[in-house]
Structure 1
């Protein structure tokens, strides 16, 4: 099966290729799928998205057929990336290896051939790195790495400062979010569509998409004693493994739409949804507990308070990344508000059960200014340009 694009006179196809290996089920593919759609929709750049695990991809793109080698959705061409490639590869203007995935040997050979061929525009080769708020990212973004064959690969770092590659954010996202949140009927209709019963407009609703942690168990036990109803919306997956002792059945026996009442807490089992549906879910909740990179950023764009459950790393290096983000997120917050929000995030990630309960209770006293900060933050975080626009400019200038 051939690539769907036709080469120009120099043998170069005017499209981009993005390669992604699926790690942690949804994080890496979540980022690359959003980027691919935005590049097509807003910049008219044809995109080939190469993915090694189509089954995991299908959880956020339900119409995807995991058995097909080639298919198209949202005008993005999706290819199954196996080794060696069974689909003919034609290099385009840019080749992106997402999150340090290793390009197929055939692709690297084509890059080298085009680089050495005179009078031919070789593709820009980029390594799209993970998002980080650490200060060193400013100095590393956009640096080249010269390969032994002389080809340059560029390091592209997403980030929160103007010196980085920016953050994924679609052009109309904030307007769509504001229109959605302006009318509470939208969230109630969404809950009904998801099969969630008994949620009233004034109830507290918390979405949970975390890794396994006893901190979640401690919060759920606290929420049971709340004076007002709390609804925790949790998909089947890693979060629920923390709540086995609270459930009347095994996780395998759970079905979307089920709910369990524990005191004043109701646990709702969520169905998996596509990315647009996930955005609307975050917009509709009062508080979001998220993990990874894609969900972490979408929780910020939801303009709601959140906890970021960062992926654990050796020697607790993930806590360094968490601290770096908390520092910039809290830069304009009053000290007491910044401390309360930071401490609940830190306690959740350290599984400090007594601390996470104590600091969660303290959130009530700062809920209004924290909410106001969450609303202002997305505009400040974008720094006038999103990742896709900076990426297009980078490729055009390289």
Structure 2
């Protein structure tokens, strides 16, 4: 059933919100033949993810999605069948009035942030009735039954496995980025917020017995990296070596290429929500830098996910994994945690793939949203 969708995205200070909504919009069009209009309040944040886009064009079509600048003065537009309010952004008052005036009310979905906390399944799909008569439905992505699942394109894992089985494809992709790693090097990607624990991790890798090639896309962690290197700048493609560690800066790449970068690496350090989910679909051990929240609320989310993720690991491997994540998110010393994790590398690598397969058994987020709409009408 073809429906119209308005997805509203307010960019805060990172790429997570627009990253998730852009993936969702593309998938709704490509796999479910929905008509999607994506409203973004900062198109400049959209362009790095979709380089063919133009931040100066208020309305444009990209990959089947109508991408629109969210204006301060709201225009008269037809209300969609499904209205997605992503991550607690507030809908324009004029649009809310138009929703009330619509003969058949739209399905209004508040798409929440991803969490593994126990309470999520109890709140997923619940309504909230406003005094003006409009009803909003809460929709929670998640990791198990009773949630909305995770964003995952239908052919994602098949494409990743085909890539894994083609050394030529991996080599061609990396060389396209100017990456020529030693054959026996451990390839690691690093995409994170500022972190005072980075220097200790870099020290540990530089002092390690095995060569490591660290790939760092342009982002907020670059300042900490430059301080450790003792440099003022590191241009995309530039390479620096310290001991056993080779550090290479990369350009900020489009979403599809970032997915492929994760597939190329043996270990991925990621941040926020979008890259967090994509690292899990890569089927590799990974490290999550969660977005900090007031009153340290993010630690509840972090520990809830860790408890779920490590439950099938041996106690020693679970301790190593948890210790490294805690050190990273506390900005504390990483050396002992990293060296301990290396002792359990084979188990953690096998577990990452099992986790990926387990999560792929549930409906993906776009599929769950479409089904939710069909059941609602």
Query: Which of the five TM-score ranges fits, normalised by the shorter chain?
Result: over 0.9
Match of 1:183 among 134, 145, 166: 166
The CA deviation at 1:260 is 1.0
Match of 1:106 among 73, 89, 94: 94
TM-score by length of 1: 0.92
Aligned pair 1:35/2:27, yes or no?
A: no
Aligned pair 1:55/2:55, yes or no?
A: no
Cα deviation code 1:232-268 (max 9, x no counterpart): 11122211121232335324xx321111111121111
Match of 1:232 among 207, 210, 214: 214
Cα deviation code 1:294-322 (max 9, x no counterpart): 00000000000000011112232211111
Stretches of structure 1 that go unaligned for 5 or more consecutive residues are 1-12, 115-119
Q: Secondary structure at the match of 2:344?
A: helix
Aligned pair 1:373/2:323, yes or no?
A: no
The CA deviation at 1:384 is 2.4
Distance 1:241 1:274 in 2: 22
Match of 2:335 among 357, 375, 382: 357
Aligned pair 1:90/2:70, yes or no?
A: no
Cα deviation code 1:165-188 (max 9, x no counterpart): 111000000000011111222222
TM-score by length of 2: 0.97
Cα deviation code 1:260-289 (max 9, x no counterpart): 111121111101111110000000001000
Aligned length: 375
* Segments of 4+ moved more than 6 angstroms: none
Q: What is the match of residue 301 of structure 1? A: 281
Alignment of 1:75-154 (within 5 A): 75-86=64-75, 88-114=76-102, 120-154=103-137
Match of 1:392 among 350, 370, 373: 370
Q: What is the match of residue 3 of structure 1? A: none
Distance 1:188 1:249 in 2: 29
Stretches of structure 2 that go unaligned for 5 or more consecutive residues are none
Distance 1:61 1:283 in 2: 20
Q: What is the match of residue 9 of structure 1? A: none
Is the Cα–Cα contact under 8 Å of residues 203 and 335 in structure 2 kept in the other structure? no
Distance 1:201 1:36 in 2: 39
